Amino acid sequence: MRYFLLILVLCSVAVFAIAGKRGATSRKPPIEIFPDMDRQPKLRPQTPNNFFANGRSSQVGVPGTIAQGDVYETTPFTTGHVAGKTNYVDVLPVKVTLQLLERGQQRFNINCSPCHGAQGDGNGITKKIGAMAIVANLHDKRIVELQDGEIFNTITYGKNLMGPYGANVTVEDRWAIVAYLRSLQLSKLGTLDDVPEPLRASLKK
């Protein structure tokens, strides 16, 4: 009987402690046993925030960002194919400028030279450390003779042992790399006749 009373009292206290004040208002903050993620150091959309120079909490997308599911225009520029055909474009569909080549050089050195080497001869660091045994020499006659569109396609989707780089390199940058790769190839294929007349003498030495 004594135990029964003790248990009854304890149960009453427990029930009161848990449910007794339900519905009552209080100015004190509630006791939180598991705060979970109720309060987070996060930014709410559309609120001012001076962390960024423009004072916004929601930043606009990086230029060139494509939302998932966006309709992707298929033109020779975006696919490397002749419009409406499976043939590759012969010549890159962008204007080759010094700026484009410099961009291509920078992107090539970042994305391609680890395997193909800075000169494109296939002697990159991955070969030296033994991570990749055979890497294509981009000065091979067969590759020199590839159409620009096919090289663009190889960068986008990869080929055999080479993985795809479409996700890492934008469409514009892929063409810039193609242009730069052509200039690398030309640097080995060029003859003295390609050099402007007044400069030839200095090269013969």
Residues that bind ligand HEC (CB under 6 A): 111-112, 114-116, 126, 132, 135-136, 138, 143, 146, 151, 154-155, 159-162, 165, 169, 177, 181
Do residues 176 and 165 lie in contact, with contact meaning Cβ atoms separated by under 8 Å?
no
Shortest spacing between CB 96 and ligand HEC, in angstroms: 16
How many Å apart are CA 164 and CA 154, to the nearest integer? 7
Between residues 76 and 107, which has the closer beta carbon with respect to ligand HEC? 107
Among 109, 139, 103, smallest CA distance to 124 is for: 109
Q: State the nearest-atom distance from the C-beta of 41 to ligand HEC, in Å.
A: 38
One-letter amino acid at 44 equals R
Among 183, 177, 178, which Cα is nearest to 109's? 177
Closer residue to ligand HEC, CB minimum distance, 60 or 134: 134
Interacting residues of 151 by C-beta distance below 8 A, sequence separation 6+: 143, 178, 181
Rounded to the nearest whole angstrom, what is the least distance from the CB of residue 137 to ligand HEC in the complex? 9
Q: Closer CB to ligand HEC, residue 57 or residue 123?
A: 123
> Please, what is the minimum distance in Å from the beta carbon of residue 45 to ligand HEC?
36
